[in-house]
Chain A
Amino acid sequence: MTNRQAVPVTIIGGYLGAGKTTLINELLNGEHGRRITIVVNDFGAINVDAQLIASRDGDTVSLTNGCICCSVAGDLTTELRKLSRADPPPEQIMVEASGVADPAKVANAVRGWSSMQLHQTVTLFDPLSIRDLCNDKFAASTVKRQLRHARLLLVAKLDVVSGEQLTSILGWLAQVVPGAAQRVGPLRRSEQIELLLDLSTTAPILSSDESAIQLSASHSSTAFASLTWSPAGPLNEGNLRDLFFELGNRLQRCKGWVNLDRAMRPSVLVQHGAAGTEITDVESMPVEQPVLVLIYAIGQCSETKLKSQLDACLSV
């Protein structure tokens, strides 16, 4: 078999009680016609309509609608590689991250393998408990990290939260997690499912060849310019993320390698695209000097202003 398509992988994270299991049950029982393999934390909590079960083998259940649900005994990377190389391969893989996991870290299990392509990272959250969780002395840093490190945020428990509550919570969220508001997905479960199954959006993972940066079709009528910026020193991660979110879709793309202002593993790969910002640790940079390449909408940003905004991200 030559040149199989890489299977798109979506990481679904979110704290305990966010509603991941409910969402996964809907995906498994749904009539979307997509052959999804879903890797879950706890097999026992999964509730599949008995009529849909085609076969069962230990910790793997195959459904008549072509979906497969399994849990991982050992190492996620090995499991995913096996699943992505199945014959026939699934059309999509979804991974339920553990309640305390960082979706960006789980995503690392997917990267770098030709049989898989990281498509999306999602954090699901319960709007009625999220505020308390972000103030909980034990859970706060974990939950905030989950909200910061996923490209897409989905609101759960939509059937029990009122429109007013939702507005207030989303307003609060925008303050606590900069840029979060731009990453919140649709507020209807059916549309959320549609979005999770939507494989047509351009993946923000860029190829290692910088010149092959792809521009989204929907923006083809806008004129873009590119700016190459070399930081004079280490950057503050928080300020950089804040800047990207403030720029929103005036900044089309950004990719590069920089050093952050920390002692351990300072080198990172920065990738920013339509669905969010990703900053990944790397052992070493493939470029001689730290550099960021930005693609921005002409008329909505000025090169000079961008440069000074970037300079403001340097660590003092």
Chain B
Amino acid sequence: MSEITVYIARQIRTMNPSLPVASAVAVRDDLIIEVGSLETMAPWLAAHPHQIDERFKDHVLMPGFIDPHLHPSLAAMLLPLHFITAMEWKLPDRTARAVKGHDEYLAAVKEIDASLVEPGEPLITWGYHKIWHGEVNRTVLNQLSETRPIIVWQRSFHEVIANDAAIDWMGLERAELEKHPQVNLQTGAFYESGLSVAMAGMNKYLLNPAQFRHGLELTKQSIRRGGHTTIADLAMPLADMDREWPVLLEVLDTDDTPFRVQYVPRGALRGLAPGADQDELDRVASMKQYNTHRLAFQNGVKLFADGGFFAELMQLQAPGFIDGHEGEWMVPPETFKKLARLYWHAGYRIHAHCTGDLGLELALDTLEELQFERPRVNHRFTIEHFGVSTPEQVRRIADLGAIVSANVYYLHELGDAYWQHSIGYERASQMARLGTLARHNVTFALHTDFTMAPALPLNSAWVAVNRISESGKVLAPEERITIEQAMRAITIDAAYVLGMEHSIGSIRAGKKADFTVLEADPFETAPEDLKDIPIWGTVFEGRPFPLEQSAADSLK
């Protein structure tokens, strides 16, 4: 057994209501021994060799932040690309400044073009959106460069716009593209089924193993910068375990990775074939064979009700979308129920992706049926994303004992857009109705679904507390939550969603020594300044990991 290290701090916010603040925490190996003050922990210190560590004496400690829903593999694909975004994105190897306006967008592309060394190297950029950047099409991109393949990948992944050099680079035949109804060769736009045509052309570049590994390294740094000590990957595998797992081990299962990952497997890879029930259960149960110290499958399983939020494919109850289009089911509703039943009876913790209120309705009807068949307490059935919902559904969530993991960031970046173009003010402003959850005492966590949102828990908390849209308006002030509620949602309640509340999420004796070290106390910060609190770094299982040192490391 090692020596005890006592960290003293300006303030320790434990997130344990039995002892909410402290000034010292004693740590031995990876565990917390005692929380309090140097005086109260004297008996421990008298009995064991110890050292007092003063490096945090001017800092504030919180339990290590937890994001219970993001996708490192997707982030790994995206981060190596050039970000030109309307919001600022602080990335590990650069900061993508906020770029708004058509001319500014083009200038940003030009700048990147000039910086690339290889003349034939494709310039793939992500983050474009017409609302902020105006009309960008093939002609405009051709004017920027006739030789460099330039591919603009739209912010919500709906569409790709290419110049002629890119169309050639992707190896696509123009004669065929001309006839495709969802490829506009005039404007260079590829959307819906046309998008998959463009993706097929880009895959050789996007899925290149060296690039993927590099992207995963950047993802790892992004997660560090958010102050995370635990994250969860909510849909494993992305496509193929055999291809993804070795790289994940290589990059994330290392001594210098200051966080752990809980993996939640997909409940079905492709629907549920008749007679395949036991096969699916076996497949999911067998995932635990992959577990390592840092990367582990536990008791969760992931199901999908309706489509993606950014793509406006949520299933909505009346009155639906302004333009009358309909969302999509990921699997037939009956199949969703069958899968849920399978895992419910086997005792799993079910995470259900629900973006629209009809998708949520399916999940709740399913849960109610299952409770009728085989009542379970402490089942932790979790509604993931929680985009559009009704207050009555929240009451039902409470009645059925379900909990929520919400992507509140949608409200900030999509609130205005969805108000104007998608579902109207009333429902857009009330997306992620956390205030109602709190009033009904429903446990909820905040997640980012990175890269749907920046992997910054304090940023998510800031959206939750202020509900400020991208244009600065406050959307549905009644749904704001307190700073304390937001802090719970990124610590102890996020741990609860992942079934790990006994070992992480608060600073108390017996738990893992995971801390996020801040320059200021969120509880004493003005709500509008929450997102700007600087992060010194983290302590993971008793070991300090400063961010500044990592910046120096990454330049090696």
Contacts and interface: CB of A to CB of B under 8 A. Distances in A.
B186 A100 contact: no
Interface string B291-332: 000000000000000000000000100000011111011111
12 contacts: A15-B332, A41-B271, A44-B275, A78-B196, A99-B335, A109-B196, A111-B179, A113-B176, A113-B180, A138-B361, A142-B326, A284-B187
Contacts of B181: 108, 111-112, 269, 280-282
Interface in A199-228: 208
B251 interface: no
Nearest to B200: A78
Interface in B202-258: none
Contacts of A99: 271, 331-332, 335
A98 B272 CA distance: 12
Interface of A: 15-17, 41-42, 44-45, 71, 75-78, 98-100, 105, 108-109, 111-114, 136-139, 141-142, 145, 208, 262-264, 269, 280-284
Interface of B: 175-184, 186-187, 189, 191-193, 196-197, 199-200, 270-271, 273-276, 315, 322-326, 328-335, 358, 361-362, 421
A82 to B, nearest CB: 10
Contacts of A141: 326
B180 A111 contact: yes
4 closest A-B pairs by CB:
A112-B180, A283-B184, A112-B179, A138-B333
Contacts of A71: 270
Contact of A283 (B182, B325, B328, B330): B182
Nearest to B322: A263
Nearest to A99: B332
B244 to A, nearest CB: 15
A263 to B, nearest CB: 5
B179 A113 contact: yes
Contacts of B189: 283
Contact of A108 (B178, B182, B199, B333): B182
Given A78-B197, A108-B192, A112-B180, 9 more contacts: A16-B335, A78-B200, A99-B335, A100-B331, A108-B193, A109-B193, A111-B179, A112-B179, A282-B181
Contacts of B322: 263
A16 B197 contact: no
B243 to A, nearest CB: 12
B179 A41 contact: no
Contacts of B191: 283
Given A262-B324, A264-B323, A284 B180 contact: no
Given A42-B271, A75-B200, A77-B197, A16 B177 contact: no
Contact of A264 (B179, B315, B332, B421): B421
A77 B193 contact: yes
Contacts of B271: 41-42, 98-99
Nearest to A115: B176
A281 B182 CA distance: 8
Nearest to B182: A108
Contacts of A114: 175-176, 179
B172 to A, nearest CB: 11
Nearest to A108: B193
A115 B434 CA distance: 52
Query: Which of B180, B181, B191 is packed against the most chain A CB atoms within 10 Å?
Result: B181
B193 A105 contact: yes
Contacts of B184: 282-284
Contacts of A282: 181, 184
Given A111-B180, A264-B421, A100 B329 contact: yes
A44 B331 contact: no
Given A99-B332, A108-B181, A281-B181, A75 B199 contact: yes
A41 B270 contact: yes
A212 to B, nearest CB: 15
Contacts of B179: 111-114, 208
A138 B176 contact: no
Contacts of A75: 196, 199-200
A141 B328 CA distance: 10
Contacts of B421: 263-264
A45 B279 CA distance: 14
Contact of A77 (B196, B328, B330): B196
A1 B193 CA distance: 28
A71 B271 CA distance: 13
B58 to A, nearest CB: 53
A122 B288 CA distance: 43
Nearest to A143: B332
B201 to A, nearest CB: 10
Query: Which of A71, A145, A284 is packed against the most chain B CB atoms within 10 Å?
Result: A284
A304 to B, nearest CB: 31
Contacts of B196: 75-78, 109
A282 B184 CA distance: 8
A45 B275 CA distance: 9
Contacts of B276: 44
B117 to A, nearest CB: 31
A41 B361 CA distance: 26
Contacts of A112: 176-181, 183
Given A108-B182, A113-B180, A262-B323, A138 B362 contact: yes
Contact of A139 (B177, B180, B332): B332
Contact of A42 (B176, B192, B273, B333): B273
A77 B199 CA distance: 11
Contact of A145 (B199, B326, B333): B326
A112 B197 CA distance: 11
A16 to B, nearest CB: 4
A71 B178 CA distance: 28
Nearest to B323: A262
A100 B182 contact: no
A174 to B, nearest CB: 22
Contacts of A44: 273, 275-276
A186 B329 CA distance: 30
Contacts of B175: 114
A79 B176 CA distance: 16
Contacts of B331: 99-100
Nearest to B190: A283
A140 to B, nearest CB: 10
A283 B188 CA distance: 10
Nearest to B197: A77
A45 B274 contact: yes
Contacts of B329: 100, 138, 142
Contacts of B334: 16-17
A264 B325 contact: yes
A114 B178 CA distance: 10
Nearest to A76: B196
A77 B332 contact: no
A6 B275 CA distance: 38
Nearest to B365: A138
A227 to B, nearest CB: 25
A142 B331 CA distance: 11
Nearest to A263: B323
Nearest to A106: B193
A136 B293 CA distance: 47
Nearest to A15: B332
Contacts of A113: 176, 179-180
